[in-house]
Amino acid sequence: MGPVAGTAAPSAALPTSEMPAGGPFREPGLLARVLPFAVVAILAEASLALPPGAQSPLAVVISVLLLAVTAAAFGLPWARLPAWASVLVPLVYTGSVLALILAAGTASGAGIVILIPLIWTALFHRRWESGCIVLAIITVEVVISLTPVVVPDSVIARRVLLWASLGTLISVAAHGLRDRIRCSQVRSARLQESLREVTVMEDRERIAADLRDKVIQQIFAAGLALQGAASLTAEREVRRRVESSVADLDRAIKLVRQAIFGLEHRLPGPGLREDVLDLCGGLTPVPEVTFSGAVDDALNPGARTQLLGMLGEALRLISGRSVPSRITIAAGEDSCLAVIEVEMIPDLPGTDDEAAPRLTCLRDAAARAGVAVDIDLVPGGARLAWRFPVGSAPGEAASPPVGVAGP
């Protein structure tokens, strides 16, 4: 029994119209489903040995025979039997309980086991089958109500035994059912999350396809048209402006292609692009931030955290006397390069004198982290660059200076 032993019962999860013939008696986990009910049934029969004993030997024999028929029914070829035949098993056991009550006496306390077939059908059968068992139980109650009541001698032990057994059965079954419901809710939540991810990926692929097939083609066609128009004029200024516009369109195409790559290959959760933009969002003035290549997927989480920490430390150290004018993150096949271009604030005394100690402090902080930073001082500013090997782990990102030239 699935709820009783913690084993899932596939038959109980099937809709009424899809339950196979004899499903409760031939699905996987049958032993776990049957064992608790069998233990209670055997205890109920054994309770006849308690005082005052059985009042009708014939009723005892009938009860035992019907219980044996119930047990033998589990071995029937249910796949070849009609679907309605499964209700006969709990009905036969209900008859066994009626004989048991008549054998022990209506005041013996054995009547509590009449709930066993009701619990079984409620857990594993269809609704109409439970209705049949309810009618059978009503019939049993009518029969025992018409039977003369014999004053019992001692029925306390029997009642304690049967109530404890059945209470344990109901308790374990209810907790097993709750566990199964909880597992179903967890599976449903996972399926919903997977469905949301698939939907997002489909939307990204659709947007990327539209950008690739429509937007880039339109921009490229506009660039070709401008190049053709430039060849029709002899004015150098006009040609220069047209060629500048064509170059701007080429850069726009490059940015759109980067966006397409990000849409098609974006990993779940925020990427390096979003983290860098968040880092720069509080700066005044906001620097120009550009990305090149598959930046989001270039570094593992440890190396990405290390890079963001160093960028934040650099921005903190250069603040006050200088401002970052441009931040560039470029991902290649072998490494991810991060560059900060700094402009010193003019007309402030001591600007050049304070720049060197600040940058030296930054170089020392990067060295302690195991990463080499290349710092180039140029007139009116500086350039700071880090290179992280693609796929490097924290502490393995150190590399020689990258030799970024000054402006």
Convert the pLDDT of each residue in 367-378 to its tens digit: 776 677 787 777
181 and 215 in a single domain? The answer is: no
36 and 65 in a single domain? The answer is: yes
Whole-Å CA distances, 226 to 236, 242, 325, 406: 14, 6, 31, 34
Q: What is the DSSP string of 87-149?
A: GHHHHHHHHHHHHHHHHH-TTSSGGGGGHHHHHHHHHHS-HHHHHHHHHHHHHHHHHHHHSPP
Residue 111 in domain: yes
- Is the model's pLDDT at 387 over the cut of 90? no
Q: Tell me which residue range forms the domain holding 246.
A: 204-265
Whole-number pLDDT of residue 3: 37
What is the average per-residue pLDDT within 46-72? 87
Question: Using CA of residue 187, residue 189, residue 195, residue 198, what is the dihedral sign?
Answer: negative
139 and 259 in a single domain? The answer is: no
Residue 400 in domain: no
Domain boundary residue, one of 138, 163, 193: 193
251 and 368 in a single domain? The answer is: no
103 and 86 in a single domain? The answer is: yes
Residue 373 in domain: yes
* Sheet order of strands, 335-344 included: 288-292, 322-331, 335-344, 381-389, 373-378
Residue 349 in domain: yes
Residue 242 in domain: yes
What is the average per-residue pLDDT within 163-169? 69
Chain segment 243-268, per-residue pLDDT in tens: 888 888 887 877 777 666 665 555 55
Residue 401 in domain: no
> pTM for the full model?
0.43
Residue 319 in domain: yes
261 and 279 in a single domain? The answer is: no
What is the average per-residue pLDDT within 54-66? 89
183 and 287 in a single domain? The answer is: no
- The residue among 111, 100, 107 whose CA lies nearest residue 59 is 100
Q: Measure the CA–CA gap between 407 and 404, rounded to whole angstroms.
A: 9
Residue 198 in domain: no
Counting the structural domains of the chain, the total is 3
